[in-house]
Structure formats: C-alpha cells, structure tokens
Structure 1
Amino acid sequence: MSLENKSATLDESRIRSLREQAAHAAKNAYAPYSLFHVGAALLLDNGHIITGCNVENASYRLTTCAEQAAVARAVVERGAHIRIVAVAIANEDATIACQPCGACRQTIAEFADPTCRIFFPAEHGKPGECTLADLLPASFNAQSLQQSASK
C-alpha cells in the first residue's frame, strides 16, 4: 500500500497513518507457527509508504520479518536508492511490545540515516518511539567496509 505525497514530513497525521498501515499489513501475515502477526510500514523520503508482513517457514530460520519484507518490497517497487525516514511496526495484539530484531535493525540501517524514526508498540499497549541510532548505535555499514578495505 502506498501513499502518494511529495514530502515525507512526519506530523501526527502521517505517524497515525504509518501505524495504521503497519497494523493493516499485520493482518496479512503468514504466521502459523508463532501465531505472532507483525506488520511494518516504511515512510520513504519521497512520501511513499511501503508495507510488509512477516512470512514464516517451518524451518524457522527462513522466516522473513515484516521489516525485511517491507524493505525488499520498497527496493522492488522504487529501486535500490530508496531512503527510509520512518518505520512503524505493529502486531495484532497491540498490548505486546514489539521492536525490530537485530537483523531488521541492520537491514533498515542500510537504507536509513541514524535519525530515522521508529514507531512500535511498547509495554502495556503504549505507543513507543525512538531513532534508529537508539536501536542500533554502532551499525555496520558501507563505510565500515571501505575502512577495512583501505588497510
């Protein structure tokens, strides 16, 4: 689901829409093993909102998280030069806290600045918010590889 806007400003209305679209995406999750349905919505710098949901697999390790599904979909639909300015995560039981896992944090960091805002369900159903830098203070990125290669 995308929202055509020319700017990626984050007012309360846009944040609410991002959270709602993540919740809607969670309804499409394929989670027959954990029964934990997760949705993610990415706000790109061009104003588009791209969603994804978790897709489980019997081997567990091959499960795709909602955030990774949304990033992959954004690259497919918008190209490899996407920039993520905000991410909302939702699950069907909004009273259960849910933040991106480590792999998803690193995946988001590949396409976002440390100031990218992350919205998620926090303890007791309260809305949580932080930046990517809060979740992943020492991300591994292209500059890390360049520094290693130059030695």
Structure 2
Amino acid sequence: MDITPLVKSAIDARGRAYAPYSRFQVGAALETEDGRVFAGCNVENAAFPEGTCAEAGAIAAMVMAGGRQIRRIVVCGGGDTACTPCGGCRQKIREFAVPQTPVTMVSANGSVILVRTLAELLPDSFGPENLA
C-alpha cells in the first residue's frame, strides 16, 4: 500500500502544530478502513503539559467524522530520530486499531525512520475486547 498521501498529510499537520513552549512540532495522519485520511498536530498551552498530542487530534477528527477503525497511522516529528507515540497515544490508537496495525514514523522531510506494529509498540495491550 502506498503511504505517500498519509506521509504528506502528517508533514502538513506538523507544519500547523502549535508548540511555542517545547518547539517540538509533531503531525500525525491516520487512514480508516474505508480509505479516509484524518490528521492532527500537537497543541500546547501555557499550563504545560496540558496540551494534546498529534495522534489524539487525528483520532478525535476521525471519531467526529464517524470513523471507528484505524488501518494505519503515520507520525512525523523533527530530526532524524523516530518520534514514536507516547504511552497515552499508544493506548488511544489501540482503542481504534488492532495489534497488527502499522505505525510509521517519518522525518520532517518524509523519510521513513521506523515502522512498527501497534503490538510492538504496546505489547500485551488492553483493548475493548478485554471488557467483553
């Protein structure tokens, strides 16, 4: 599957991040099972660290549009080091994705740095099916 459109959306979202305190901009884009793409950026505020992560913004946009299943997700940070989702975002992704869902981390110019499945990022996870 071609992830180029998803990478572009994550890069564009990163460019819109509001990060005046950390100066660490992050963008994320996810694709739903029906092929729709939703993006988000990190948004900080003066009550640091009470901001929101890029992944959370993308997930909120998906849910608002009626989406419930993440097919794949891309996270774009700065530099050449992988910007992996924080622990809270890994759990948020898990709510709407299966353990085999690919999570791709890219640089600010779109170069793929790291690809992991959600299971590799969040082993032995707790998900909705655990409540059944």
Q: Normalising by structure 2, what TM-score? A: 0.90
Q: Which amino acid aligns with 1:140?
A: F
Root-mean-square deviation (CA, aligned residues, Å) is 1.6
Say if 2:42 and 2:57, in contact at 8 Å, map to a contact too. yes
Q: Is 1:35 aligned to 2:23, yes or no?
A: yes
Q: Does 1:50 align with 2:38?
A: yes
Contact 1:42 1:88 in 2 (8 A): yes
The alpha carbon displacement at 1:32 in A equals 0.4
Instruction: Tell me which moved more, 34-43 or 60-69.
Output: 60-69
For residues 49-107 of structure 1, what are the alpha-carbon distances to aligned partners after superposition, in whole Å with 9 as ceiling and x for unaligned? 10000000111232100000100011012x2x51001000002x242320000000000
Aligned pairs for 1:27-106 within 5 A: 27-77=15-65, 79=66, 82-91=68-77, 93-106=78-91
Alpha-carbon shift at residue 141 of structure 1 (Å):
1.8
Structure 1 residue ranges (4+ consecutive) displaced by more than 3 angstroms after TM superposition: none
TM-score normalised by structure 1 residue count: 0.79
Task: Measure, in 1, the Cα distance between the counterparts of 2:11 and 2:24.
Answer: 12
Moved more, 63-72 or 132-141: 132-141
Percent identity, aligned pairs only, is 43
Measure, in 1, the Cα distance between the counterparts of 2:121 and 2:128.
Answer: 19
CA distance in 1, matches of 2:122, 2:71: 15
Distance of 2:90 and 2:97 partners within structure 1:
10
User: What is the letter of the counterpart of residue 55 of structure 2?
Assistant: E
